[in-house]
Structure 1
Amino acid sequence: MTKFSILITTKNRLPDLKETLNQLSSFIENKNIEFIICDDGSSDGTSNFIETNYNSIQLIKNQKSKGLVYSRNRLLNLTKAKYAITLDDDAHILFQNALEIIENYFESNKKCAVIAFRIFWGKVLPENLSHSQTNSKVKSFVGCGHVWRMEAWRTIPNYPDWFVFYGEEAFASFQLFKNNLEVHYTPDVLVHHRVDVKSRKNQNDYQIRLRRSLRSGWYLYFLFYPWELIPKRFFYTFWVQLKTKVFKGDFKAFLAIIQALVDVFINILRLMKYANRLSKKEFLEYSKLPETKLYWTPRDL
């Protein structure tokens, strides 16, 4: 059995992907690592570039775009590896001993199903990459940098591809929690996610990102939260969006909120059908877990 695979989904971001593959060259050249990329309907020559320049990479294609979540399901259900690392097409692992750290950690923590990596978000790396954080159980993980114990992945339902983008990690984390399995944060593996987060609000996809982020959070309420907690949580998040965005003149946010509400209404029967609700006791236990470690900056030192 192959021990490690690296899985990447990409769509029309060839310059970012080129940089990622360049940064991961030592992993690509390692014949003991399975490397699979899903081209989600790109029209910028992504598939041709991979086929021409990287014979060792296994390429799968969606002829028409199916979305990030659908593509990640394809990759995870295709790999034969024991441990599967998922990266975004604009993210790469920094330390060469990452695989050794991952394997040792999984071997020492049998209930750990997913390892969440330390992730730096930004175009330029800080000079000091050391940290003062410790390994810990957490609620969930970030899609752009984590690794699955594939034995655990096969015990839960696939990511819900109708989420399209956002929320699939929390969906999986709730399912794992119901199966008495855990997500652990391991800061010794560092990922550089080459994204300027602050500029995203000014990008063309700001509205659709906000829409999908909101609706995925609301989907998760209906899928996993105890019934009595849903109304308060739902209306609180709705009010926060109005207060922090709409009342300050963010018209795109207003449209995103309305669209997210419509999405919830359209999918309400599906949400009821696939619910795997936590009991009050389970929810209290889950709530005590540390929050997902989304961002790392040198201020953590």
Structure 2
Amino acid sequence: MIVTRFAPSPNGPLHLGHAYAAVVAHDLAYERGGAFRLRIEDIDGARSRPEFVEEFFQDLEWLGLSWDGEAAFQSHRLARYAGAGERLKAMGLLYPCRCTRAEIAAAATEIGPDGPIYPGTCRHRAVAPEGAAWRLDVTAAMNRTGPLEWLDEGAGPQAATPQIFGDVVLLRKDLPASYHLAATLDDAADGITLVTRGMDLFRSSHVHRLLQALLDLPVPVWHHHGLLVEPDGRKLAKRRGSPSLADRRRAGEGGLAIADALRAQRFPAGISLSQALNGTP
């Protein structure tokens, strides 16, 4: 059975971009007789605000989207993240690092999807200093797994190339886990068989496929969809004040009509759908 999910972070209100992502995941599940799950990614420290969670529930119901089962919360899964980290440490694949972004930018010689690629300054560090993050030795990890592939419904089969990110952080010094580790573990725990998300995260799937192989997790299929973008080509974002669904709901707009418009790719004036933004295959 196909199982999809919508996984917002409660660090700001939902906007039309989130609504589009939720509609895509919801409709793909129900068109194929599957299940649609809701996960709240609430481990982002003080930025995660519980009051937004109830707003999310109301927004989705207003859009006419129902989910199967209880909503899952990342904050209830901290032991799972820590356990995966310890397992990777025992495999000799994680190493501690206290390099700052400025130090990485100054030493980097390559640019990856997330910016300057970490040059491996701490790769042979034996002792973990206080407050260190833990990075995955991607080359050693790929040597362990051998070649890997993953499948996107739109782009087709992909050879996994997590090296484009360099040695990514999996255990952050300020949070229980990075997005890469938490999302990969959560999708496995929730039984997700079709991972739907925006094209800006296409390349992240290379890292997630590697983590699935290392941690013996099931491998889903991916479906990367377009992103709603502003007239200047930037995707809608909470921090730039994109109108929230809650404000539209309270103003009396019809949620069902908005969901149908998104399905038909009818967007407000100036907003369009980009099929490739910072994540082209």
TM-score over 0.5 (shorter chain):
no
Q: RCO (CA 8 Å, sep 6+): is it higher in 1 or 2? A: 2
TM-score by length of 1: 0.30
